[in-house]
Structure 1
Amino acid sequence: MKTSTTKIDIQKASRSKIKNVDFNNLSFGQVFTDHMMVCDYKDGMWQTPTIKPYGPFELDPSAKVFHYGQAVFEGMKAFKDEKDQIWLFRPEKNFERINKSSERLAIPAFPRDYFFTAMEELLKLEREWIKKGFGNSLYVRPFVIATEAGVSAAPAKEYKFMIICSPAQAYYSGEVRVQISEKFSRAADGGVGFAKAAGNYAAQFYPTNLAKDEGFQQIVWTDASTHEYLEEAGTMNVFFRVGDKLLTAPTNDRILNGVTRDSVISLAKEYNIDLEIRRVSVKEIIEAAKSGELKEMFGSGTATVINPISGFGYAGEKYELPKLEDSYARFFKDKLTKIQYNQAEDKFGWRYLVK
């Protein structure tokens, strides 16, 4: 049984805005729940976590997050099963990763007890925002920003850790085609590619816009040194099916260690799917596409779970992938979502019950 001595200051909203929300027509990440969690770091320690009504807050124009980019975040989901129980999916991984990201950006680690107790209290308060039914969920966004005023180029001494929540429906982006990058890179050796640092995503927007102008929705990033090896797809980890073999790049200091990616790898091993975690070259994938051996490409991530890729472009050439009835993408998405919604046995101990 979970116990906690963490004190949480809870300030409930005077009334809920939930009645004004059309849950049948949600745009991802546009609607937010009634409350948010806020915890400040000052005087060398994290203060008492507070849950308060969702709303704007003031920052000094010289707050260091604006000038030196000390900001990291996580993405998680809460699910409600048919018994009205609330579940999280592998939240320990998200907790570990936000602190790993924080360490890389010289942000103080957030205490484990604060993270889980505050998040559980917030989710219990927002219970009605988590709708039952396959595809429905509550997207949970923990993040940290540097709030100390001053523009000296040094790590901040004050921070704000927050959790906000947004109701979500099944994420479907339609036909997704990607462009393999010949020039741009997501991250370099020794950099912050492995961290969920806000600046990583800002740097992606420009090359992604260029790809969109050519009819692609996302970019598959290549390594910064040679642009010969495939790394991530947009904001997702990427998998390739060549014949019946599944390939994905190993994590390193350029590639985010995705929770969904790790779960796909565990499922592949559990169901004896031939899997290789190794560097995957652009040349190898192009040759497989031309010979008909490239059966699938798909991305994995929290928002989409599994996102099939229908085609890709490289060096001015476009390649279409076959439409498969027995796709690995469909298999993994089915297995993962059934575990998340408490509709299947959880052999791995991934589900986390919010009590």
Structure 2
Amino acid sequence: MTRSATPGPRPTLADVAALAGVSPATASRVLNGTAGVSGSARTEVHNAVSRLSYVRQRARASRRAKVSSIAAVVCEDGVRLFADTFFSRILLGAGQALRTGDIQLVLLVVRGPADHGSVERYLSKGLADGVLLISAHDRDPLVPMLRAMRVPTVAAGRPMTPGELPYVDADNRCGAYEAVNRLLKSGRRKVVSIAGPPDMAVGADRRAGYRDAIAEADAVGTIAYGDFTPTSGEHAMQRLLEHHPDLDAVFAASDLMALGALRALRRAGRRVPDDVAVVGFDDAPLALHTDPRLTTVRQPVEDMGEAMARHLTRRLIGEVDMPPATVFPTELVVRDSG
């Protein structure tokens, strides 16, 4: 008697893309019939679909009598996920909103492209009714994958591509402008910035707010880049001090990068705020415990998480008149650092 072969894992969109030699985004466009893909790429994708016996899985219909589970898909490595309180705060807010409806919140961590297949397999089984997408970068293949699977999704933060996903955000540009404008009006002459990643709208918007204030004051701006971690803020501050020793203020696009900047300034013998003023962004809990206490821009992170969850659940039960974006105001919180 012959044994039947044990079926392997169901092929995913990522598997199709890898076999075809294209990106998951391109494979998704082919399967959606979207224009802008070469004929050879289309042929390779369709051949890969046939060879893998790929069957496209779709999420359940968007109109549901009962929502039971939401997946929070966080695109970060484990170190930053647990070191940056932004993530715990936004998940706390989402969890509080879902608890009233007895909806389970499931955390899926995407550390890189290798995790995309497991996310696709999880969602294709209908184990989550919708997705809260957190910390996705520009051109992340997860976005076209979610759209191809027709999984209702709400993003934390404005996507770089307009109209790509509904989202909840803070007014990052205005918050950054107010912070830098205050530094300039207080008499600081050389205000530099440690900006966030340029492939994330949150980084781009806070950088734009900095530039708005600099241009309005007819000043000269200087920007170094970080990745929202203390180490990147420390390294960026070191570079800025080396190239611009006359700087007297720094706007860091996150409190964690501001913490790194404080370390570099202390090591360089610069007094804060006497020699250099420092302003961060987020109003994370650590802002009350730095030395000196950090002036920062407050964004209502828990409220943003709650709004994301409520927006998604309303879409899932069939409400159609949902706004494409919800943007919360920010508030400048003045403490001792600048």
Higher Rg of the two aligned structures: 2
Q: TM-score, normalised by structure 2?
A: 0.29
Q: TM-score, normalised by structure 1?
A: 0.28
Greater fraction of residues in strand: 1
